[in-house]
Structure 1
Amino acid sequence: MAFKTDIEIAREAKKKPIQEIGAKLGISSDDLLPYGHDKAKVSQSFINSVQDRKDGKLILVTAINPTPAGEGKTTTTVGLGDGLNRIGKNACVCIREASLGPNFGMKGGAAGGGYAQVVPMEEMNLHFTGDFHAITSAHNLLSAMIDNHIYWGNALEIDTRRVVWRRVVDMNDRALRTITASLGGVSNGFPREAGFDITVASEVMAILCLAKNLEDLQERLGSMIVAHRRDRSPVYCRDIKADGAMTVLLKDAMQPNIVQTLENNPAFVHGGPFANIAHGCNSVIATTTALKLADYVVTEAGFGADLGAEKFLNIKCRKAGLTPSVVVVVATVRAMKMNGGVAKADLGDENVAAVEKGCANLGRHVENVKSFGVPVVVAINHFVTDTDAEVQAIKDFVAAQGAEAVLSRHWELGSEGSAELATRVAEIADADMANFAPIYPDDMPLFQKIEAIAKRIYRADDVLADQKIRNQLKDWEAQGYGHLPVCMAKTQYSFTTDPDRRGAPVGFSVPVREVRLSAGAGFVVVICGEIMTMPGLPRVPSAENIKLNADGDVEGLF
């Protein structure tokens, strides 16, 4: 049986004018800033006007550790949102914007799949409303102003060996990870080692996604540490006097984007920090606005629950005062079999024993999420090769964990296939069973926060960090940053820092390679193992298959 590709399904969508989608949430056309006919930004004045309303129920969608077999977290997020609307609920979806690097690399887009997608798919996965370009420009404006300040006399006495602000580009380009800047003679400045991160790893991205309004945005931008003097004292963005101009560049990007699902339900798509090297959640302003407009808001956090959900619950919820009512953990029969040792080529064959063996990974995620005091539902994202016995094996395992698993066929059937999942999630959300709390307090020392995540979430025996890193954390505590949460940067493929260790491994340590202070965003980034803040392209990048066809339509995006 041949199935249509995601882009073919998206192109056949019967989209409604964005004004009609906004009207479903009570947003008038005057409060929408259209980008064409099918996407718009929501005005800040409208957002300000709804702040006294009661919040709806917040539903987080997360997943097991990703495998090449596919899990479908965004697909499930969209399918659940459509399913809630199908059963008569007023629901809205909140997801992240797609980064160009993964689109043209290996991961693909971020708009869902099958009959559970957000559209316009092509625009969302390419330039969309220009938010990422604005973030890239604002970030690199600061880079240029730092080097310009040094060139014109360096009044702030910046130690050029201790410039910590790197440049960014929204592309996977390993050649830019470490570079030498300002070569070519006196007129080009003072040569120094520099480098690039991907835009979604920028602190500016994190700040845009955590800021409450433009005033908060500028305050946070000004608080970013960009360099140090010889006496190790910090130099801030506000010292360079770049925060005002950066805010101007980000003025429109700060306003949430509204689009629609294939079933014409509203979706906010705004912000996009990576989950393996940043905090992996859509913007606070989009989520909090959606909660004022809908009775149920379905949002996602990137990659597996050990990364995205942990950061959503420990960072985003802490910073924004959010309380999730229920967490949905997405799993597939195929991924359970792969975690159980089955090769990708053999995933279509029934193997109940492998499913049962692979469920250890799912079980650990369920247990971890429950430790935050939030009820958990497992969504089994259906594939056509799944057998009844394999699905039942997951249901039985999850029931033994004190949770419930529901089969969902949204990829194939849209909301018709997710209605059962939506009904159960709504029932649990309405029961108000959550007793949410982050797993560590603000006043815990920074290294102990790292240990809390490594030991309680990853189940590591120990955290390995040399004395230089420990001293750096103590210095930041002495400077008043000890209350900040920590943002772990590690591989998404495993609970360990080894991407090849699947399942639920034990008997390992977490090596910390580097720590970075994101003083404006308000967290400490902890870089573990071999994780890169600038990814590279795979041997055969997706870009090789992306093109325009004879009709001028995009092909190859997924």
Structure 2
Amino acid sequence: MDTNKIYKSDIEIAQQATLLPIKHVAEKFLNLQEEELELYGKYKAKLSLTLLDRLKNKKPGQVILVTSINPTSAGEGKSTVTVGLGQALNQLNKKAIIAMREPSLGPTMGLKGGATGGGFSQVLPMDEINLHFTGDLHAITTANNALASFIDNHIYQGNKLRIDPRRIVWKRVLDLNDRSLRNITIGLGGPMNGVPREDHFDITVASEIMAILCLAESLSDLRTRLSKIVIGYTYENTPITVGELGYEGALTLLLKDAIKPNLVQTIEHTPAIIHGGPFANIAHGCNSLLATKMASKLGDYVVTEAGFGADLGAEKFLNIKARIGKISPAAVVIVATIRALKLHGGIKKENLLQENTTALMNGIANLNKHIETIKGFGLPYVVAINKFITDTDDEINAVIDWCDKEAHPQALCEVWEHGGKGGIDLANKVLSIIDSKENHFHQLYDQNESIKEKIMSIASKVYGATGVQYTSIAERQIKEFEQLGWSELPICMAKTQYSLTDQAHLVGRPENFTLTIREFKISLGAGFIVALTGNIMTMPGLPKKPAALAMDVNEAGFATGLF
């Protein structure tokens, strides 16, 4: 790239792109029937669940998972590479479809920004996807908070199930970063206003209903999973479920449209199915199982991503989503940037623009650990070196030379500037490793192992920890979960995305560290146990200067400041 060249912003590129009517994309590229498409305006649509019935005998396409090193404040461009790779495969005349998560307004308005890719590798309409899209996250928020109101009303109306107000574990949610709502008191103002108790808010994408929506395979499966949600415990410490309250039908009704995957397109008109958006640091971090399965039935290749680094999103995709959905990925792309590797090598962000191959090679240990993790799952992989305009030739060559020396397949990726054309080398490398048949995919642990054995497998094999310690609360919960028959569920780790450890400031590849499990949360409807490590928060806060400060809309109705 030419560092003296003036580049357009992502939103400028998006607004100047020519979109095809989504009905045309559906008919031309996917051969969808008219009744299988529900239009949400001219450029967005929902896909009917009947589509899977029609294509049930069709052989599914190859699933390509895109992950990355531990993210930094400099950004890695994982979504950009996902979009660019899908476009590149189509330029090679491979029928590829992209499957991604829906953005959350929390990070969009906060620090991270949107999640629709960047440059000439974006999914469109970018502004609508990053804001309200088709209303899925609002429906999940409503369903979650409806359940909260049903619980409090049950207690107010006589509490037939003897729910202990001190042991309610169901939290309210909001799809924004609002630290002030982490701990609240409700029911104040006298007997007519309910029973006073302490309550809490999570961000919507951390809700178990989001996880359930993303793992359900049909409306009936959604209803069954919703009925299994544990909302709290009785005075006798017996778990109470939604099914016992009797509201699974109402919750399913609120989600009947949200469960349908959303179809959009990229700048190059590659079909993209965007659906669901659980965070990977506090949930399982993958787009919906329905979206991935629909894409695999409609295309020969599915390019999908999982949140944050391979220690979070990819681990959960492979240990949880692939297990539940019986998915066997064909290959993994591990995204790395020169900038992030230098930060992992110990330099400060203000020195990022200076060439520093020493810091770069120190930071490459982080990439090496994530490669080891993917190899531990028995999967073939390619390292995608996502090029930025500030990268120097010596820095790029240093990473390429290291990959070649260590026999790691690699490709320089320039999809931000050149779209699909900038990902042709990456696409060819991915196709090559898929054809090599060197795929021995397996999960890292057996579900029959104990809770502690499964956590130790993840901590040691994925993070590189030498041990795991548990608080007294966590130890007590393990015993309770074992007595209740929940110990055979997979583990969903809630951990900082910035480090392999549970301490965000420990970048690179820390060694000889112990992971701390603070407490557990049962997600019986989703089908896993959440293990909260360190000081991970399930309701993020806003930074000192939120991204929202730069956002506006002009007189023509076009968004500004989104990225």
Shared fold (TM-score, shorter chain, > 0.5): yes
- The residue that corresponds to 2:17 in the other structure is 13
- From 447, 454, 459, the counterpart of 1:454: 459
Amino acid at match of 1:391: I
How far the C-alpha of 1:138 sits from its partner, in A, is 0.6
How far the C-alpha of 1:205 sits from its partner, in A, is 0.1
- The residue that corresponds to 1:342 in the other structure is 347
Amino acid at match of 1:390: E
Write out per-residue CA displacement over residues 115-135 of structure 1, whole angstroms, 9 at most, x where no aligned residue. 100000000000000000110
- The residue that corresponds to 1:543 in the other structure is 548
CA distance in structure 1 between the aligned counterparts of 2:79 and 2:20, rounded to whole angstroms = 22
Q: Does 1:227 align with 2:237?
A: no
- The residue that corresponds to 1:44 in the other structure is 49
Q: Does 1:463 align with 2:468?
A: yes
CA distance in structure 2 between the aligned counterparts of 1:450 and 1:369, rounded to whole angstroms = 17
How far the C-alpha of 1:344 sits from its partner, in A, is 2.1
Write out per-residue CA displacement over residues 235-264 of structure 1, whole angstroms, 9 at most, x where no aligned residue. 100111111000001000000000000000
Amino acid at match of 1:6: D
- The residue that corresponds to 1:207 in the other structure is 212
Change (3 A) 1:360 1:38: same
Write out per-residue CA displacement over residues 65-91 of structure 1, whole angstroms, 9 at most, x where no aligned residue. 111222100000000000000011000
CA distance in structure 2 between the aligned counterparts of 1:65 and 1:420, rounded to whole angstroms = 24
Q: Does 1:183 align with 2:184?
A: no
1:358–1:503 contact (8 Å) kept in structure 2:
yes
Amino acid at match of 2:426: L
SS in 1 for 2:508: coil
CA distance in structure 2 between the aligned counterparts of 1:184 and 1:35, rounded to whole angstroms = 43
- From 286, 290, 293, the counterpart of 1:288: 293
- The residue that corresponds to 1:256 in the other structure is 261
CA distance in structure 1 between the aligned counterparts of 2:328 and 2:462, rounded to whole angstroms = 19
1:395–1:404 contact (8 Å) kept in structure 2:
no
The within-5 A match list for 1:311-330 is 311-330=316-335
Write out per-residue CA displacement over residues 251-300 of structure 1, whole angstroms, 9 at most, x where no aligned residue. 00000000000000100000000000000000000001111110100000
- What TM-score do the two structures reach when normalised by structure 2? 0.98
CA distance in structure 2 between the aligned counterparts of 1:46 and 1:415, rounded to whole angstroms = 28
2:410–2:429 contact (8 Å) kept in structure 1:
no
CA distance in structure 2 between the aligned counterparts of 1:443 and 1:282, rounded to whole angstroms = 26
CA distance in structure 1 between the aligned counterparts of 2:15 and 2:442, rounded to whole angstroms = 42
Q: Is 500-509 or 75-84 further displaced after alignment?
A: 500-509
Amino acid at match of 1:358: G
Gaps of 5+ in 2: none
- From 384, 390, 399, the counterpart of 1:385: 390
How far the C-alpha of 1:411 sits from its partner, in A, is 0.3
2:20–2:43 contact (8 Å) kept in structure 1:
yes
Amino acid at match of 1:194: D
Amino acid at match of 1:468: I
Write out per-residue CA displacement over residues 382-432 of structure 1, whole angstroms, 9 at most, x where no aligned residue. 112222221121122223443211101100001111111111111212333
The percent of aligned pairs where both chains have the same amino acid is 51
CA distance in structure 1 between the aligned counterparts of 2:23 and 2:248, rounded to whole angstroms = 34
How far the C-alpha of 1:520 sits from its partner, in A, is 0.3
SS in 1 for 2:463: coil
Q: Is 129-138 or 447-456 further displaced after alignment?
A: 447-456
CA distance in structure 1 between the aligned counterparts of 2:277 and 2:242, rounded to whole angstroms = 22
2:473–2:519 contact (8 Å) kept in structure 1:
no
Amino acid at match of 1:542: A
- The residue that corresponds to 2:103 in the other structure is 98
How far the C-alpha of 1:35 sits from its partner, in A, is 0.4
Change (3 A) 1:262 1:189: same
How far the C-alpha of 1:514 sits from its partner, in A, is 1.2
2:381–2:430 contact (8 Å) kept in structure 1:
no
CA distance in structure 1 between the aligned counterparts of 2:59 and 2:52, rounded to whole angstroms = 14
- The residue that corresponds to 2:512 in the other structure is 507
Write out per-residue CA displacement over residues 29-73 of structure 1, whole angstroms, 9 at most, x where no aligned residue. 331100001010011112221121101110000000111222100
- The residue that corresponds to 1:194 in the other structure is 199
- The residue that corresponds to 1:150 in the other structure is 155
- From 295, 301, 304, the counterpart of 2:306: 301
Write out per-residue CA displacement over residues 476-533 of structure 1, whole angstroms, 9 at most, x where no aligned residue. 1222212111000010000011111110001211111110000000000001111100
Amino acid at match of 2:478: L
1:32–1:40 contact (8 Å) kept in structure 2:
yes
Q: Is 113-122 or 422-431 further displaced after alignment?
A: 422-431
CA distance in structure 1 between the aligned counterparts of 2:506 and 2:554, rounded to whole angstroms = 41
Q: Does 1:60 align with 2:65?
A: yes
- From 237, 246, 251, the counterpart of 2:242: 237
CA distance in structure 2 between the aligned counterparts of 1:339 and 1:100, rounded to whole angstroms = 28
How far the C-alpha of 1:474 sits from its partner, in A, is 2.6
CA distance in structure 2 between the aligned counterparts of 1:361 and 1:188, rounded to whole angstroms = 53
The within-5 A match list for 1:92-171 is 92-171=97-176
Write out per-residue CA displacement over residues 344-376 of structure 1, whole angstroms, 9 at most, x where no aligned residue. 233222222221111000000001111000011
Amino acid at match of 1:14: T
The number of equivalent residue pairs is 558
1:65–1:305 contact (8 Å) kept in structure 2:
yes
SS in 1 for 2:332: strand
- Taking only aligned residues, the RMSD between alpha carbons, in angstroms, comes to 1.0
